[in-house]
A = this chain, B = another copy of it.
């Protein structure tokens, strides 16, 4: 499995573009990803009860069960909480894209990210869609650029793997830096692959990989109305069709997909609003993977844990207190905690760490926290960041 440089256009048969049309101020704000041939698609959406218009449209499109050829995305305006007019605007983006590309409107997904509660400026969006269709090319970085909001860098990844001797590529791009939480808070990810895979298998692989990537990151515990992950598989690699979960070719494909999703997920956390630390939480010796993930999630979302990490203090008490309110039952006297390679807490509340050694681990930008629950052999990873004054500043003074 080799890591390759580019994103959504890394697999065979995908083109993309990213342009400035005028929604934002002087930064790229419209992106288009197109497959040369109709592609099998899988998509997952926000679990928020309040959903933006594009999510409603995409759910309908996916429910048709057909293939998808294009994804059009704008940034700067989320087209959320905008009622009937917002729905019409989302459908107009779909139709304009289909028309510009000469494909059926059932083959288009749409996505928006940015400010909530304002109407899309369709007078600039519609010419923007047409221009994006005219500028499609083999370089996906413009598209990754154009889906950014408060992101400080464009997020792209891609890997290649061999399936039955055939080279298969998975590529992707994502955006998201604030409002990140389990259940895919304001987070968009668009993934492409030239693998030949059935719709059912792609859906199953996507669900599991999302559970282990985008559902395992947290910046601030808030969830957005617009989140989505969409995966297009156009079969252009020419591998033998992967038609069974766990069957021939599945594992190699799944690992490549999971790798891209985890890489994009980690980039989102690294770009967390105001983040100065990237923290990997590894919960092991849990009774089940769900229990491990739930404990890791609660620790990762604790403001007290996140501020202690910001202050570079080895506060295992806050970690244990957060674990205790996770809803998972466990014996606290069995818990052991390491920061990096430094043992912090041992069973029966034994504490014998050197403040200097802990401080050295915590002074790094990347910090790994290992929590052994002593309750079984399941484990889960979770990625989060610290909570800084800068986060407050970004989210309190975003208007100025």
A residues contacting B by CB (< 8 A) are: 47-51, 80-83, 115-117, 178-179, 181, 183, 220-225, 301-304, 307-308, 310-311, 313, 316-318, 320-326, 328-330, 332-333, 348-349, 351, 387-389, 391-393, 395-399
State whether A396 touches B325 (Cβ < 8 A).
no
State whether A220 touches B50 (Cβ < 8 A).
no
State whether A396 touches B324 (Cβ < 8 A).
no
State whether A179 touches B304 (Cβ < 8 A).
yes
Main secondary structure of the interface of A (DSSP, over half): loop
State whether A303 touches B81 (Cβ < 8 A).
no
State whether A304 touches B49 (Cβ < 8 A).
no
Q: Which residue of B lies closest to A312 (CB)?
A: B396
State whether A50 touches B83 (Cβ < 8 A).
no
| Further 6 A-B residue pairs, CB within 8 A, beyond A81-B349, A181-B325, A308-B396 | A49-B325, A222-B304, A307-B396, A310-B392, A310-B396, A389-B393
Contacts of A179 in B (CB 8 A): 304, 321
User: Which of B49, B82, B317, B333 contacts A83 (CB under 8 A)?
Assistant: B333
User: Which of B50, B308, B323, B395 contacts A307 (CB under 8 A)?
Assistant: B395
Query: How far is A181 from B304 in the complex, measured between Cα atoms in Å?
Result: 12
**What are 26 residue pairs bridging A and B, where the CB atoms are less than 8 Å apart in the complex?**
A48-B321, A48-B325, A49-B324, A49-B325, A50-B323, A80-B321, A82-B349, A83-B333, A83-B349, A116-B317, A116-B318, A117-B351, A179-B304, A181-B325, A183-B325, A220-B303, A221-B221, A221-B301, A221-B302, A221-B303, A222-B302, A222-B321, A303-B395, A307-B396, A311-B398, A387-B392
Chain B proximity of A286: nearest CB distance (Å): 14
User: Which of B47, B49, B221, B318 contacts A323 (CB under 8 A)?
Assistant: B49
With A48-B321, A81-B349, A179-B304 known to touch, is A392 a contact of B396 (CB < 8 Å)?
no
With A302-B222, A320-B50 known to touch, is A397 a contact of B325 (CB < 8 Å)?
no
Contacts of A392 in B (CB 8 A): 307, 310, 387-389, 391-392
Query: How far is A225 from B307 in the complex, measured between Cα atoms in Å?
Result: 19
Q: Which residue of B lies closest to A321 (CB)?
A: B225
State whether A222 touches B395 (Cβ < 8 A).
no
Q: Which residue of B lies closest to A386 (CB)?
A: B396
Contacts of A321 in B (CB 8 A): 48, 50, 80, 116, 179, 222-225
Interface centre among A318, A328, A395, A398 (most CB of B within 10 A): A395
Q: Which residue of B lies closest to A86 (CB)?
A: B349
State whether B308 touches A395 (Cβ < 8 A).
yes
Contacts of A220 in B (CB 8 A): 303-304
User: Which of B82, B117, B303, B330 contacts A303 (CB under 8 A)?
Assistant: B303
Contacts of A397 in B (CB 8 A): 311
Query: How far is A219 from B391 in the complex, measured between Cα atoms in Å?
Result: 17
State whether B304 touches A399 (Cβ < 8 A).
no
